[in-house]
Structure 1
């Protein structure tokens, strides 16, 4: 089941039609409504979600109450869970969400373990999301504001739906970093455009081969493996790196000029070997005594897709949980992933709770600064 987080800023862009140049600022939404403006963010979100209707049985939407997502998602027949409730409007008034509602919803969605956060709004909404989301968590914006300077939005609402469709159908989706930008609306209303960068977020885009390719569109395996190795090596600092088994991880060790255990697990620190062919108790002792996060680098078994439970039983459930999902680095070429024919990566740790924790979508490093989201599942 694909866990889709949904946030709709129902007042996004509401000031555009009545020449208020946006909706940010105290009292702006109320002023726009008094001038006859119509909120259209839910209509924009509906265009994106309609693309996903054929996959409704495969998607569970987590969202906020009423106009922040619940109403639109339910009207289209999706399974919906509400994680944040808007306060009741004053008598005779309209229910208007705030930046705090957006941020609280983002946090609640992250706590639910969603696979992707889809939000409808403008640059102000993107800023609110960015305040709560790590730059390593995938988000995608549905354009619904007056101004869209940020790179986290799809070009159209339907385009946003198409990108999510790729993810739901287990196709490779490249992750890219995109800037969150916004302008000073008070200056903008005086005719002054002053943009500012507020951060960046990770967004899924359609698959692009950014690695070196041969004339037939095939990846050059050695060049791609070099790029993958360079990306991982670039992350190596003082903490421990546990290197799992497999030919792809072996190439990484070769690039470091370190003898590795092809069918075992090695440990390096500051790009130096500190333990060869480690056992589960040895790994546990190392992790327990470490005063900083430990990284785990693994790859998949070609043709099968297993990342845990085949050839790396040293990586036990207690070790995996101690390391944490966010500290697991999966490396593989796109060619190797595509050979799975959209089948998910398999986790079979022997512990159902650990398998459940790992299931969903995980980032796979497929080149230098090139990552894709790929589904992970436990055996049925």
Structure 2
């Protein structure tokens, strides 16, 4: 079985910078100015390393030169052949051109990026070849990605071993500029064919409805009872956490990571480094809600909550909040973490008590 790899080198660059995406040269320049560094290549290398570990023999990976694939293959110790030379700097047109060049030559095309990259792959190859996304972007609402880079490598290996069916998976994306203005609306762009490996391939994000006032007020009351008013409370993005903030007396952006103290917003829309500094300055708690339909707690849309912030707060001060309806919509699938730190992900795995109301919790698995 022959594998192809296309890497979007700047995918995810705006995540830890709190820019709600990475589209456009201006956003990428701002992210770099805020200290962000590209991580797409190293996450693609993790997927290839997992693939190599699970298969006895992997033919040379067909890829693009430099940061669009060859660098990741070399870092993973994988043999590779360059079949496309991108421009410098790379652009979405390079992603489309590389995908078109590789598709007729491979049995599975791996691509590393986010929803924008998935759209480029869809435009370039459609359903002509099975594909699988290595998650490296900010949002990743589409159902074409592994739940982590290593899970993508595992799914690719399972397909190579035979017996794995294919399914049509949705390619979704948000308008990043609208998100920055507080308007959140995902659009379906089409479908790609992906290996159907349950648990290893993420679901698409489902639309969120306004949580019931009673549920939100109960969750807010429970947070107020648990978190001393002098301590910092970091709230991840989402309609649930925004409603909780409002119940506590604070108005915060729905898509940002925000910090409260005693029901008052002390900082909003925080990037990763200032947030970590705040968390290190005194007792801090982190409250997150799972993404509807997907179940991600960390690593999708809230990369500002970095491993540094989570370690500063401590495992015991990570609070998971969700309405009972949101948990029921997961259909028993586990909650997911993909922080980019394997050791931390292992520490967070197991079970967690999800706050669903005042003095109400549900024990739920985390993977």
TM-score by length of 2: 0.52
Give me the whole-angstrom Cα distance separating, in 1, the residues matched to 2:39 and 2:77.
Answer: 20
Contact map agreement 2:95 2:117 (CA 8 A) in 1: yes
Matched, 1:9 2:31: no
2:121 to 125, 129, 138: 129
1:186 to 169, 174, 177: 177
Give me the whole-angstrom Cα distance separating, in 2, the residues matched to 1:159 and 1:50.
Answer: 11
Q: Deviations over 1:253-299 (max 9, x none)?
A: xxxxxxxxxxxxxxxxxxxxxxxxxxxxxxxxxxxxxxxxxxxxxxx
For 1:222-261, list aligned pairs within 5 A: none
2:142 equivalent in structure 1? 150
1:70 equivalent in structure 2? 70
Give me the whole-angstrom Cα distance separating, in 1, the residues matched to 2:20 and 2:43.
Answer: 18
Task: Report the secondary structure of 1:58's partner residue.
Answer: coil
TM-superposed deviation, 1:136:
4.6
For 1:31-46, list aligned pairs within 5 A: 31-46=30-45
Change over 3 Å in CA distance of 1:148–1:77 after alignment to 2: same
Task: Report the secondary structure of 2:189's partner residue.
Answer: strand
Contact map agreement 1:5 1:114 (CA 8 A) in 2: yes
Change over 3 Å in CA distance of 1:189–1:56 after alignment to 2: farther
Give me the whole-angstrom Cα distance separating, in 1, the residues matched to 2:68 and 2:119.
Answer: 17
Structure 1 vs Structure 2 CA RMSD: 1.7
Q: Deviations over 1:144-169 (max 9, x none)?
A: 1110111111111111111111122x
Contact map agreement 1:56 1:77 (CA 8 A) in 2: no
Change over 3 Å in CA distance of 1:136–1:101 after alignment to 2: closer
Task: Report the secondary structure of 2:81's partner residue.
Answer: strand
Structure 1 alignment gaps of length 5 or more: 89-95, 209-380
Give me the whole-angstrom Cα distance separating, in 2, the residues matched to 1:18 and 1:134.
Answer: 32
2:166 equivalent in structure 1? 175
Give me the whole-angstrom Cα distance separating, in 2, the residues matched to 1:18 and 1:204.
Answer: 32
1:203 equivalent in structure 2? 194
1:86 equivalent in structure 2? 86
Task: Report the secondary structure of 1:192's partner residue.
Answer: coil
What count of residue pairs does the alignment treat as equivalent?
A: 198
Deviates further, 25-34 or 136-145: 25-34
TM-superposed deviation, 1:133:
1.4
Contact map agreement 1:174 1:207 (CA 8 A) in 2: no
Contact map agreement 2:144 2:194 (CA 8 A) in 1: yes
- The runs of at least 4 aligned residues of structure 1 exceeding 4 Å deviation read none
Contact map agreement 2:49 2:77 (CA 8 A) in 1: no
Give me the whole-angstrom Cα distance separating, in 2, the residues matched to 1:84 and 1:204.
Answer: 25
Give me the whole-angstrom Cα distance separating, in 1, the residues matched to 2:116 and 2:37.
Answer: 18
Bigger Cα Rg: 1
Matched, 1:97 2:96: no
Change over 3 Å in CA distance of 1:146–1:207 after alignment to 2: closer
1:49 equivalent in structure 2? 48
For 1:156-167, list aligned pairs within 5 A: 156-167=148-159
Q: Deviations over 1:75-114 (max 9, x none)?
A: 22222111111234xxxxxxx4210010010011024x20
Give me the whole-angstrom Cα distance separating, in 2, the residues matched to 1:157 and 1:106.
Answer: 19
Q: Deviations over 1:106-157 (max 9, x none)?
A: 011024x201000110000000000011325211001111101111111111
Change over 3 Å in CA distance of 1:59–1:48 after alignment to 2: same
Structure 2 alignment gaps of length 5 or more: 200-367
Task: Report the secondary structure of 1:59's partner residue.
Answer: coil
Give me the whole-angstrom Cα distance separating, in 2, the residues matched to 1:51 and 1:110.
Answer: 22
Contact map agreement 1:172 1:207 (CA 8 A) in 2: no
